[in-house]
Amino acid sequence: MVKRKLGALEKVEADLPNLQHKIRRDPKSYIEDFRAQHYQYESHREIFMTAPSSTTETGLISLRELIDFIAHVADCYPEITKDFPQQLMDILSQHHLILQPELREKIVGSLVLLRKKELLDSATLLQTLFPILISTPSKTLRALIFQKILMDLRQANAKTTNHKLNRTMQTVLFNLVTSDRTSSKGLWAIKLTRELWKRQIWTDAKAVEVMKEASLASNEKVIVGGVRFFLGGDKEREEMEDESSDEEAIDLGRVKHQVGINKKTRKKSRAVEKAKATVKRRERKKNQPHPLNFSALHLLHDPQGYAESLFSKHLQSTKSKLNLDQKLMVLQLVTRLVGLHKLHIMHLYSYFQKFLTPRQPSVTSFLASLAQASHDLVPPDDLEPLVQKIANEFVSEASASEVASAGLNAIREICARQPLAMNETLLQDLVMYRKSKDKGVMMAGRGLLSLFREVNPEMLKRRDRGKDASIGLKAGERKEKRFAEQEAGGIEGLELLEKWKEEERRKRRAEKGLASDASDDEEEGEEDNWASWNVEDDEDSDDSGDWINVQSDAEIDISDSEDEKDGPPAKKAKSSESSSDDKAEKKEEEKEESAEAKFSKLATTRILTPADLAKLQELRTEAAINSLVPGAKKRDRDDPLTAEEIEGLAALSAGKATREERIAHAKEGKTDRSEHKSITAKRKERKQDQGKSTTNKEKARKKNFLMTLGKAKSKNKRSLVQTRAVLKAHHDRAKRGGRRGNIG
Amino acid sequence: MGSSSKKKKEKQKDFQLKVGKAKAKPDNFTDTSFKSKSITLTQQSLTLHAPSTTHQFTHHVSLLNSKSDTQRRDSLAHLTTHLTSAPTSQPLPIPVSTLLPTLSPLILDASTTVRTQLLKLLRTLPPSDVEDHVASLMPYVRAGMTHLAADIRVTAVDVLSWLVEIAGEAVVSCAGGWIKTLNCFLSVLGWHTEESSKWSSNRAAFGKAGAKGKPMVKVLGVLAEFLEAGIGEDDDDEMEMEVDGKGGTGTGTGTGGGGFPIVQTDVHMVPKSAQPYVYLNLFGAPRDEEGEMYETREERFRVFKGRFLVPVERGLESARQDGGEVGRASSAVSKVLKEARGVDWEG
């Protein structure tokens, strides 16, 4: 055997990892050695500080290794190493520009390690690292520090929200963004905030404020970063949440089973414990109430001022250096704010005027933004010329079908938000396009028609109004909505809750054997409700005695009260209710009228307990799932309107699709399926996937022929006695239930 | 049949194709030819004249950073012979101030031969030049004294011994030279805590201890020298001062040279040392207590008394109990201590 070559370190046994290992096991005995190494570190630090930029490795052990060593065992000797973190921070903050990359990374890593060992608090660490993050020219260092900062913030907020730390950090970021609006350093604030927002660590208004200031900066990158956050940050957050919620499910049964089979080691038993803990934690998490997170757009303090300054700074001013894409993004944000908060910006609509021509690049985005910016409080005078212009520029027989359909769609979207922007002649003109030969245009025209059948059928020609609308007009219940008229709102899904409660009560009464309709012992039911004040009424139920019962005599007779009818006049059904339901609605009009009046009372006459609210949420989601038929999706007001929606079915009007396109289209909805296989093969595969073994039968079938040959031959040669013995043994075994028996 | 005739035919064909041709390349043939713009011969020297001694000297200085042990050792040897052979009146080809920064990291060198050679070289350097650079050398010495490897510790102690010998005052009074170095001594001797200094203590010594006992004796000897330089009786300086004082007040003729009104002129003049105001630390980082300069004997003794007297005495006691060579070596240290105390009482 060749003699092993010894490295220099081995020759002299200058083996810090070895010492580290020994110190970990017995810190007290090795204190002298550690002290020596600490002096060693001090001397090396001294040498280093006299010439920080020198790259010469001093001897066997470099400062880097010593730092690593001391950081790893610092928690064993807090007294000796009390200055150590501060020294590292000093080195890093003073010399990070000239340090060797390896040493630099080691120092950062050691600082984080010290933080983990609680020898350093988060605030100090972040205050050291953050200035370096924004000032260092090294890309790798920036990446490292960013990752470490993020990790530290996540860890600090892991158990409970560390408000103090978050606040200081947010203030630092805010100052970074606001101090120098022209520099691109604000990008780091954006990156950090966005990441923490995505992970739901920061969900408060202060984080939104940072982004708001970023979007009002003068540097394009910073602006775009801020604007992007408002346009996509919440979606990102939701996606992240979905992702984390459907993490790989742990099959506890399987884990336990595996442990039963395999060799029992401490490691494996620990794995089982861990799996149990994870499952338990997930269960608990599932039962927890959903954290109520507002979207960034809702958390803005002064949306009007913000939208105005965005508009004037980036869109109106001639000095803005943004390119078209970036401007469109800003416009999207501004219009979204306008639509969401029902703001009014003076020159916004006239600003659109010059962009509304088919030759304008990405005009559909402009159209979408315009539609987004219109809401029912916009004066129709502002919108009417725009609608007129769209009609003139886009919708004509001469224009291409895509253009016409985009124009029609845009007009429909605007009118859906503000119907008063349309005048009668134009509408009747546009509705004629439903007769177009082109499919896209036809669909767009029909869309417009059906919209106005609902919101204002009077503007349509008689024959276009349709049956339901005509009947509605005749009955006088379909009235044109006046400007700024508000519908009385209610609590969404309240009627569902009412219904559910009614059913519950009926069930209870049925159990007791009483008449299901009688409504006398209301008090008892009330008691129950109060008892179940909380979602899980374990401990709180007792001290709910302080609560004063609200007299609920007004809703005593919920199911069939006659005097309710001449109460307040019935409110109109929700305007957005689809027309197909109208017929059914008419039939039960009477009934529903009274019902609605009652439902509105539920919220006014009794306090909704958290338990009620939870149930309400549940019912609402259930209803939402039930109504989730493809195509019949209702638009949420928070969702942005995209250019694709304006383009609409223009794809249909693009002439005949090629074969490939048709195949792709046909395949779109279908899930991909694997090759054909027999059922047995599939079963076998599934079994293998689950990590299960083969049956005895299968094993016997698969056994090598030559191995079975000997037994088969010997069987022939058995004597009668032997055969008898074998058969008997077999019989006995069968009775017992196999070789191992039927025990247990 | 058919196949064999077929094979035959193929063989025939092969033969026809192969004759008069170059041998076919094997499948795994790798083309190793390359193109180059120029060819450099590493071995050949194109200079006509032998390099001058100065040039050789600088060259060998640059080789001190070489990766190979033997190269470093040989270069050191070359430098040593150069220094010893050159007449002392002639200045060095490279001033000590530039030579020392390349030499000092070698105190921590892994190879023993390099370190011994380094020690030889250091001893040949002119002492007066070294004196001004003690402060920059001391961190390396201290790093060596606390090194994991015992051999390096011994070398560092040797270097310190040499330094104390040629510039004792500078060593003990430079920044960090007193407290930090004493700390290192305690750590080398293992005298820091009470348990660790007991002879029966079950101290798990890490690293190779080197030759047992021997290093301890050496360290104790150097400690004695070091303490002597730091807190021993300043025979020459103090005497001189006293003479000055007496002369100034008494006869009016002293080194001050002036008459009656000008007494103790030296005290008011700019000191003659190389860096007179370095103790003000105008340009360096702020120093803590350990890194501070302790320039006078009184200061040093005060610090020593406050911080080190107890552990040193405890350590000496246990060393004395060890007996043998160590015990004898410890008695030298005890003697220095005793004298220092005596001086302190007098003062």
User: Out of A14-28, A72-86, A553-567, B200-214, which region has the weakest mean confidence (pLDDT)?
Assistant: A553-567
Between B139, B146, B184, which is nearest A47 by CB? B139
* CA A425/CA A432 separation, integer angstroms: 11
Q: What pLDDT is recorded for position B117?
A: 92
Between B105, B110, B143, which is nearest A40 by CB? B143
* CA A117/CA B262 separation, integer angstroms: 64
Task: Give the dihedral sign, CA B59/B62/B68/B69.
Answer: positive
3-class DSSP string for A161-184: CCHHHHHHHHHHHHHHHHHCCCCC
Shared domain check, B165 and B224: yes
Mean pLDDT across chain A: 80
* CA A118/CA A25 separation, integer angstroms: 20
Tell me how many residue pairs between chain A and chain B have CB atoms under 8 A apart: 107
In chain B, residues 58-87 whose CB comes closer than 8 Å to chain A: 65
Q: What pLDDT is recorded for position B317?
A: 85
User: Is 90 exceeded by the pLDDT of residue A479?
Assistant: no
Q: What pLDDT is recorded for position A653?
A: 59
Shared domain check, B78 and B161: no
For the packed helices A363-373 and A324-341, what is the interaxial angle rounded to 10 degrees?
Answer: 20
Decide if A215 contacts A227 (C-beta within 8 A): yes
Mean pLDDT across chain B: 77
Phi-psi domain of B210 (left: phi exceeds 0; alpha: psi -120 through 50; beta: other): left
pLDDT in tens, B91-143: 777 888 888 888 888 888 888 899 999 999 988 888 888 888 888 888 889 88
Structure tokens at B162: 């040499």
State whether A46 and B206 contact (CB < 8 Å). no
Looking at per-residue confidence, does A177 or A477 come out higher?
A: A177
Q: What pLDDT is recorded for position A401?
A: 86
* CA B12/CA B3 separation, integer angstroms: 14
- The distance of B266 to chain A (nearest Cα, Å) reads 33
Decide if A650 contacts A405 (C-beta within 8 A): yes
Shared domain check, B293 and B177: yes
Between B106, B140, B285, which is nearest A47 by CB? B140
Pick among B102, B159, B187 to test the A interface (most A CBs inside 10 A): B187
Shared domain check, B106 and B180: no
Would you say residue B105 lies in a domain?
yes
Taking residues A298-319, what's their average pLDDT? 91
User: Is 60 exceeded by the pLDDT of residue A528?
Assistant: no
Shared domain check, B325 and B212: yes
Q: What pLDDT is recorded for position A573?
A: 40
pLDDT in tens, A216-257: 999 999 999 999 999 987 888 888 877 776 666 677 777 777
Q: What pLDDT is recorded for position A330?
A: 94
* CA A597/CA A421 separation, integer angstroms: 33
User: Is 80 exceeded by the pLDDT of residue A400?
Assistant: yes
Query: A385 pLDDT band (50/70/90 cuts)?
Result: very high
Residues of chain B neighbouring A33 (CB-CB closer than 8 A): 148, 205-207
Q: What pLDDT is recorded for position B209?
A: 47
Q: What does the DSSP 8-state code read for residue A658?
A: P
ipTM for the complex? 0.74
| Percent of chain A topping pLDDT 70 | 78
Q: What pLDDT is recorded for position B77?
A: 92
Query: A56 pLDDT band (50/70/90 cuts)?
Result: low
Shared domain check, B316 and B210: yes
CA angle at A328 for the pair A350 and A412, rounded to the nearest 5° = 60
Looking at per-residue confidence, does A41 or A744 come out higher?
A: A41
For A382, residues 6+ apart whose C-beta sits below 8 A from its C-beta are: A349
In chain A, where the domains are located: 8-242, 303-475, 708-744
Query: A89 pLDDT band (50/70/90 cuts)?
Result: very high
Residues of chain B neighbouring A11 (CB-CB closer than 8 A): 110
Structure tokens at B251: 């006869």
Query: A85 pLDDT band (50/70/90 cuts)?
Result: very high
Q: What pLDDT is recorded for position A427?
A: 93
pLDDT in tens, A577-632: 444 444 444 444 545 445 455 555 666 777 777 778 888 888 877 776 665 544 44
Q: Identify the domain containing residue B102 by its residue range.
A: 63-125
Q: What pLDDT is recorded for position A431?
A: 92
Taking residues A715-741, what's their average pLDDT? 89
- Max mean pLDDT among A463-477, A592-606, B201-215 falls in A463-477
Pick among B147, B151, B180 to test the A interface (most A CBs inside 10 A): B147
Q: What pLDDT is recorded for position B273?
A: 67
| Percent of chain A topping pLDDT 90 | 28
User: Out of A75-79, A496-500, A573-577, B273-277, which region has the weakest mean confidence (pLDDT)?
Assistant: A573-577
- The distance of A40 to chain B (nearest Cα, Å) reads 5
Query: A410 pLDDT band (50/70/90 cuts)?
Result: very high
Taking residues A563-567, what's their average pLDDT? 41
Q: What is the residue whose two structure tokens read 């894409």?
A: A325
For B236-245, b/e burial (b = at least 16 CB within 10 A) is eeeeeeeebe
Shared domain check, B159 and B87: no
Query: A206 pLDDT band (50/70/90 cuts)?
Result: very high
Decide if A448 contacts A456 (C-beta within 8 A): no
* CA A581/CA A97 separation, integer angstroms: 71
Looking at per-residue confidence, does A548 or B167 come out higher?
A: B167
Query: A559 pLDDT band (50/70/90 cuts)?
Result: very low
Q: What pLDDT is recorded for position A527?
A: 52
Shared domain check, B305 and B224: yes
Shared domain check, B69 and B210: no
* CA A132/CA A126 separation, integer angstroms: 10
Shared domain check, B315 and B282: yes
Would you say residue B141 lies in a domain?
no
User: Is 60 exceeded by the pLDDT of residue A558?
Assistant: no
Shared domain check, B213 and B73: no
Shared domain check, B295 and B156: yes
Q: What pLDDT is recorded for position B213?
A: 53
Would you say residue B22 lies in a domain?
no
Main-chain phi, psi angles of A182, to 5 degrees: -90, -15
CA angle at A522 for the pair A518 and A526, rounded to the nearest 5° = 145
- The distance of B33 to chain A (nearest Cα, Å) reads 34
State whether A12 and B152 contact (CB < 8 Å). yes
User: Distance of alpha carbon A663 from its chain centroid, rounded?
Assistant: 33
Pick among B138, B148, B174, B185 to test the A interface (most A CBs inside 10 A): B148
Q: Enter the CATH code of domain A8-242.
A: 1.25.10
Query: A428 pLDDT band (50/70/90 cuts)?
Result: very high
C-beta pairs of B213-218 under 8 Å, 24+ apart in sequence? B213/B324, B213/B325, B213/B326, B215/B150, B215/B153, B215/B154, B215/B157, B216/B189, B216/B319, B216/B326, B216/B329, B217/B325, B217/B326, B217/B329, B218/B154, B218/B157, B218/B158
The nearest alpha carbon in chain A to B175 belongs to A46
How many domains, in total, are found in chain B? 2
Q: What does the DSSP 8-state code read for residue A573?
A: P
User: Is 60 exceeded by the pLDDT of residue A722?
Assistant: yes
Q: What pLDDT is recorded for position B203?
A: 45
Taking residues A402-426, what's their average pLDDT? 91
